[in-house]
Amino acid sequence: MRTAKIVSISSSDQVGLYSICFNNGESEFRKFLKKFKDNAALNKDYQSILYALDRIIAKGAFERMFRYEGKMNDNVVALSLDSRKLRLYCLRMSDQILIVGNGGLKETRTYDEDEELSGYVMDLQKFDELLKQAQEEGSIYIEQNMITGIEEMTFRV
Amino acid sequence: MIEIYDDILREELAKIPPLTRETYFLTDSIAERIDAVMKAKGISKKQLAELTHRRPSDVTRWLGGGHNFTCKTIAMIQLALGEKIVEVAK
């Protein structure tokens, strides 16, 4: 059993970006940045992800910018990039709320053939369920670009 | 007002060259316009793929925001949608 918290990583008038921290460690998105920022072989893909995030922060997390990666009834997506190698998985809650997870090099046809990538997707799917439950219970509220009450909550995953 | 709380993300975004940011602004603006026309006309990704004789995954990449469109691709999309996507300033 792991504990998890949601932390804010960026906010603008258009969008609130969040990430997930397991067991009080650094956020999943920060791990992704550290893992790939000095990787010369994947630099083009990594840069494409940064440009997309830069645009999302300025404009919003619109549906067209993502491809669905999870199941029909969840909000798990990956950034839709020209590059087909590096994946960054996210939970798109709305045009104004994006929870950015971890990701990696996609070398198999589908993410679920890769243990590491499917682990990241399953973490987000589990979180999607927990967030829906917390919303139903009234513990958190999504208000435009903010998830009110989220940073005080600790989830058990 | 933009706030970046993660210091690594802040440093990495600050490194984006102005030319790259301007290029991405243009490509994403084209994607935004295509998306708006598709929605206004009720055209799905699959339908646009059929109209342009491309794969649905190509349409997904066009709409993603970072695709470096050629003039030929834009012309093909304009013809398929029956609407101007790009107009040149006079």
- Which pLDDT band holds residue A94 (cuts at 50, 70, 90)? very high
Q: Which residues in chain A have Cβ-Cβ distances shorter than 8 Å to B12?
A: 33, 37, 50
Residue A111 predicted with pLDDT over 90: no
pLDDT in tens, A39-49: 999 998 999 99
User: d(Cα A63, Cα B2) in Å, to the nearest integer?
Assistant: 21
Task: Please list the residues that pair with A78 across neighbouring strands.
Answer: A67, A89
| CB neighbourhood size of A61 (10 A) | 28
Mean pLDDT score of chain A? 92
Q: What is the secondary structure of A70-100 as a DSSP string?
A: S-TTS-EEEE--S-SSEEEEEEE-SSSEEEE
Lowest pLDDT segment from A73-87, B13-27, B39-53, B72-86 = A73-87
Q: Which residues in chain A have Cβ-Cβ distances shorter than 8 Å to B16?
A: 50-51, 54
Taking only Cα atoms into account, the Rg of chain A, rounded to an integer number of angstroms, comes to 15
Using a 10 angstrom Cβ sphere, with 0-12 exposed, 13-18 middle and 19 or more buried, the burial of residue B56 is: middle
Residue A122 predicted with pLDDT over 90: yes
Q: Is A44 on the interface with B (CB under 8 A)?
A: no
Mutation target among B6, B24, B37, B70 for the A interface, most CBs of A within 10 A: B6
- A147 DSSP assignment: E
A–B interface: beta-carbon pairs under 8 A:
90
Of B5, B13, B64, the CB nearest to A65: B64
Which residue in this structure is represented by tokens 């798109």? A92
| CB neighbourhood size of A148 (10 A) | 11
3-state DSSP assignment of residue B64: helix
Give the residue-averaged pLDDT of A116-140: 93
Q: Is A41 on the interface with B (CB under 8 A)?
A: no
- Which pLDDT band holds residue A132 (cuts at 50, 70, 90)? very high
pTM here is 0.92
Q: Considering only the C-alpha atoms of chain B, give the largest distance between any 2 of them, rounded to a whole number of Å.
A: 46
Give the residue-averaged pLDDT of A105-127: 87
User: d(Cα A91, Cα A93) in Å, to the nearest integer?
Assistant: 6
Contact B63, B34 (CB under 8 A): yes
Helices B18-41 + A43-59 axis angle, to 10: 60
Token digits of residue A40: 């010369």
Contact B59, B69 (CB under 8 A): no
Parallel/antiparallel/unpaired status of strands A76-79 and A86-92: antiparallel
Measure in Å the smallest separation between the Cα of B64 and chain A Cα atoms.
4
